Amino acid sequence: MKTTISRTTKTAVILPAALMCALASNANAGEWSANASVTSNYIWRGLTQTENESAVQGGIDYAADSGFYVGTWASNVNYGAGDVYSYEHDVYAGYAFSTGDISWDVGYLYYNYDSEAEFDFGEVYVGMGLGDFSIQYNLLANTEADEAEGQDFGFGEAYYLSLDYGFELTNGVGVGLHIGHHDGDFAEAFNGNASGYTDYNVTFSKDGFTFMISDTNVKGGAAEGGYDNDSVKFVVSYAVDIAM
């Protein structure tokens, strides 16, 4: 859970990083777009960010004709009694383009939390899509968090690698399959794990509604307390696009 380095239990329905970047890159060229959603549980890389409680979220994006995009996204968060976290505010910018049948997305994503937390961090990412498959690699770029003895929070010392496959059923229901792996000293401190972990989920979406079944192989701090990140989670969310 996201909290101070001294805590043993620490850690953006995304999934914010990948989802929000996808929304930004898919926005109509040269136009502003906005979105708002409610979810029964805010899950990020397989881990609850709200102690398995609900969240209200929303964002604003701009995509230019050139493929450049920029955006911002926010959600409430909750990591338990005594934590100073109340919100997550992400800011990102990138460039989306295609080479033949392959689509690309490269950019920078900054995660901002309450100033008392002192755990803001940024990632650079590159994504590639081919047909119904996509793969994305997020790499730690910077953080204001202090390293403990034996830890290294330098550039590239933590990563998240994810693979996704999406398709649509004949009744119009969209199905998404996802697997990801989060590892590195910063990821372990951030999530309260003794080692890296893998998350996986399946989603069913239609008309703004999404039902997700999510699980991880997580053990240790990120699974304790009110987190239960070692258990299967069932999440219902509803999202709307807002005309601008």
pLDDT (0 to 100) of residue 192: 82
Question: Which of residues 15 and 202 earns the better pLDDT score?
Answer: 202
Question: Which of residues 15 and 108 earns the better pLDDT score?
Answer: 108
| Residue range 128-143: mean pLDDT, rounded | 98
In sequence order, what E strands does 64-208 have? 68-76, 87-99, 102-113, 121-130, 133-143, 158-168, 174-184, 197-206
pLDDT band for position 59 (50/70/90)? Answer: very high
pLDDT (0 to 100) of residue 185: 94
pLDDT at 18 over 70: no
Percent of the chain as helix, strand, coil, to the nearest 5: 10, 50, 40
pLDDT at 7 over 90: no
Average pLDDT of the chain, as a whole number: 88
pLDDT band for position 231 (50/70/90)? Answer: very high
Report yes or no: 162 and 44 within 8 Å, Cβ to Cβ: no
pLDDT (0 to 100) of residue 80: 80
pLDDT (0 to 100) of residue 225: 76
Query: Six-digit token pair at 20?
Result: 């929000």
Query: Six-digit token pair at 65?
Result: 């004709």
| Residue range 181-192: mean pLDDT, rounded | 92
Please name the CATH architecture into which domain 16-242 falls. Beta Barrel (2.40)
pLDDT (0 to 100) of residue 221: 78
Question: Which of residues 49 and 24 earns the better pLDDT score?
Answer: 49
pLDDT at 77 over 80: yes
In the 8-state DSSP scheme, what is residue 140? E
Percentage of the chain beyond pLDDT 70 is 88
Q: Give dist(CA 109, CA 93) in Å, integer.
A: 7
| Residue range 190-212: mean pLDDT, rounded | 93
| Residue range 93-100: mean pLDDT, rounded | 97
